Amino acid sequence: MLGETLIPIMKKMLKLHKSLYELSVKKTDIVKKGDMAALDQLLKDEQAHVAGINKLEQERMALSQEILPAVENPSLLDIANQTNPVDKDQLLQLRDNLVEVIADIKTRNELNQQLIHQSMQFINFSRSLVMPQQKEINYGPPAGKKVQSEKSPGMFNSKA
């Protein structure tokens, strides 16, 4: 009975994490194509997923605390050990699946981060080719010396 209340929450969390992984796979293709509008929409979808995951995590933590009030921040293993064998197996299987999906998300996000970093380097390189930095070429006193405010007569005196 203890696990029966937690299992639906864990299933929803696993479903959201799998969906988030699918979004990260789509993000890789979008970054490769350079489609900024699609990337913007995908980021909004990711934020919605993360908000849903955070909400479910808070529910899971509150429920875990209700199930085992004596333990501060009880883990899923602590709760599984208090349930019947069928629920225990199901909870531990959900936990293992969730850990696997989270590892996949982490790997895919690292790849996406590298792709975005390379894209930014390419953009900066292309920009420097189109708009090169101009060196300051001045015909004047060397850096650090004052500019004379008086007119110097020079080689030619026009008043003569």
Q: For 2-130, which CATH superfamily applies?
A: FlgN-like (1.20.58.300)
**Hey, where are the domains in the chain?**
2-130
Confidence of residue 137 (pLDDT cuts 50, 70, 90): low
Mean pLDDT, rounded, of the chain: 84
pLDDT, tens digit (0-9, with 9 covering 90-100), for 41-100: 999 999 999 999 999 999 999 998 888 888 888 888 888 888 888 888 999 999 999 999
Determine the Cα–Cα distance for residues 124 and 131; give it in Å rounded to an integer: 10
What pLDDT is stored for residue 158 in this prediction? 61
Query: Is there a contact between 27 and 39 (Cβ–Cβ < 8 Å)?
Result: yes
Distance of CA 106 to the CA centre of its chain: 10
What does the buried/exposed string (b/e) look like for 105-134 if buried means 16 or more CB atoms within 10 Å of the residue's CB? beebbeebeeeeeeeeeeeeeeeeeeeeee
Residues 6+ apart with CB under 8 A from 120: none
